[in-house]
Amino acid sequence: MTAALLWRSLGWPLVHDAPLMHYVAWLVGEGAVPYRDVFDMNMPGVYLVHAALLAVGGGGDVAWRAFDLVCLGAAAALLYALVRPLGDRWTAASAGLLFACYHLAGGAWRAGQRDFLACPLLLAGAWGVARFRAAGGAWPLIAAGLALGAAAMLKPHAVLYGVACAAVVAVVAWRGAGARAVGAGASGPGARSTASAPLAMLGPLAALAAGAAMPVAGVLGWLAARGGLGAFADVLGGYVLPLYGQVARVPAWTLMTSPPLGWAALTFAATALALGLIAATPAPLEARHALLALGALYGAVHFGAQGKGWAYHLYPAGCFLCGLVGAALGGWRRAPALWGRVAAPALFAAMVALLGLEGARPADAAWIPLKIDRVRHVERELAALAAPPARVQVLDVTEGGIHALLRLGLRPPTRFIYDFHFYHHESDPRIQALRAELVRGLAGGRPAAVVVFRDEWRRTGYERLGRFPELVALLARDFELRVDDVARGYRIYAQRRHP
């Protein structure tokens, strides 16, 4: 099944969200300061990842497909390493293969999503913590901290899993100190060890925290050196948390009714069953079980806290669930009850079959070639109107306008690359300030063209422009409608030639 899904995925193009992150990374490479010169809601680590990919492989489809598969291979290998001590090599491999199916079944739009990119780092953090022994050195924990800190620079919610890993480290260190005390005898040096058990946790926790602090300090230091740290704080505290976080929120159970599978229902029901299977085995539970279970719980919080109901927000839950299923398979032969010996392989087979069914659906999704066609048409139209260093403003989200600018190497006259910011919380002074900034930038920057897309993230139709009268007035005064592509859903306004 994995091989079939992999083969069908090889032609996945760069599409949907990925070109947006490529474009921001390209702008940063051209000298733009993140957040100050490019208004975006993502963490700075995302831009560094995409900038590195652009530098190494370029911005084409092949490089993007290779990058996504490398990340998937890393996640699968780490799942194998994490689950292997809980069973045999076949059950450990099943965990990695199941996650590969989970990812490849999702379709091209989920390739390289930020939540997916965080999964190998979260798993690396769990693996480092799993290798820690109370009597061992600090290096596994420093490495775990490095991975978890890097994950937080992609998705800040990863801090929660870092806290969960710290709790596991504290318990392991405490138990290790107690075991040494018992081994030494209550009247000997062990008595001091018992009293110092809380102190025994400090060193390991400090190693984990030190490792996590390094990538955080490195990324924020890079941002400060570029002059964008203040703007980052302003965007985060003045827009993302109070406003964007409240936009288009849906109940956490939304995906339970989405066709054809209901990913949330499948994920959390399978997690509960896998935990029950593990608990039913006679073997003692290990720290790895706790790390996987806490990871699945964190994944549920990760999904619910973002509140958008998007399937790719389930990636952390999905990857740790796959590890739990592998762990359950590792102990199913030892389950004392018949139902336990039957349920684990049945669960695995059912999940593989359902993922195969899901994978057959989006592989040839009609919207992907339509979007690629739209990108090419916008690119062709703009190439006739503007060439660097001319500027072009796109009022879009994921309909393809930013992708066209990326392919042409065109920069915007303002720091805005989307336009949905202007159509929520419209009476809020902060949104009014963003609107005024856009209008000033268009008036002063005199872009060669403005591209307006009919559809955006939250609504369809050009009617949204009527709620932004200052923009409508500026377009009427300084621009003329040059292209109105009804079939593909975009309009291009060219700079008016004044006599």
Read off the pLDDT of residues 39-55 as tens digits, 9 standing for 90 and up: 999 999 999 999 999 99
Q: Which of 158-162, 234-238, 313-317 has the lowest mean pLDDT?
A: 313-317
For 377, other C-beta atoms within 10 Å of its C-beta total: 17
Residue 17's DSSP bridge partners are: none
Residue 393's DSSP bridge partners are: 450
Query: What is the mean pLDDT of the segment spanning 152-180?
Result: 89
Model pLDDT for residues 342-367, shown as the tens digit of each residue:
777 777 777 777 777 776 665 557 88
- Confidence tier at 260 by pLDDT (50, 70, 90): very low
Query: What is the mean pLDDT of the segment spanning 173-196?
Result: 58
The yes-or-no verdict on residue 240 having pLDDT over 90 is: yes
- Per-residue model confidence (pLDDT) at position 254: 66
The yes-or-no verdict on residue 256 having pLDDT over 60 is: no
- Confidence tier at 186 by pLDDT (50, 70, 90): very low
Query: What is the mean pLDDT of the segment spanning 162-185?
Result: 79
| Predicted structure pTM score | 0.93
Query: What is the mean pLDDT of the segment spanning 80-103?
Result: 91
- Confidence tier at 276 by pLDDT (50, 70, 90): low
- Confidence tier at 454 by pLDDT (50, 70, 90): very high
Average pLDDT in the chain? 88
Model pLDDT for residues 387-445, shown as the tens digit of each residue:
999 999 999 999 999 999 999 999 999 999 999 999 999 999 999 999 999 999 999 99
Query: What is the mean pLDDT of the segment spanning 117-145?
Result: 91
Confirm if 207 and 138 have CB atoms less than 8 A apart.
yes
- Per-residue model confidence (pLDDT) at position 5: 87
**For residue 190, what are its two tokens?**
């062990």
- % pLDDT > 70, the chain: 85
- % pLDDT > 90, the chain: 66
- Per-residue model confidence (pLDDT) at position 266: 61
Residue of 341 and 33 predicted with greater confidence: 33
Model pLDDT for residues 295-350, shown as the tens digit of each residue:
999 998 999 899 888 889 989 998 998 898 888 887 766 666 666 667 777 777 77
The yes-or-no verdict on residue 281 having pLDDT over 70 is: no
- Per-residue model confidence (pLDDT) at position 458: 83
- Per-residue model confidence (pLDDT) at position 277: 63
- Per-residue model confidence (pLDDT) at position 258: 58
Model pLDDT for residues 214-229, shown as the tens digit of each residue:
999 999 999 999 999 9
Residue of 196 and 482 predicted with greater confidence: 482
- Per-residue model confidence (pLDDT) at position 180: 58
- Per-residue model confidence (pLDDT) at position 201: 82
**For residue 238, what are its two tokens?**
């003045």
Residue of 213 and 91 predicted with greater confidence: 213
Confirm if 391 and 449 have CB atoms less than 8 A apart.
no
Q: Which of 32-41, 67-76, 205-214, 361-370 has the lowest mean pLDDT?
A: 361-370
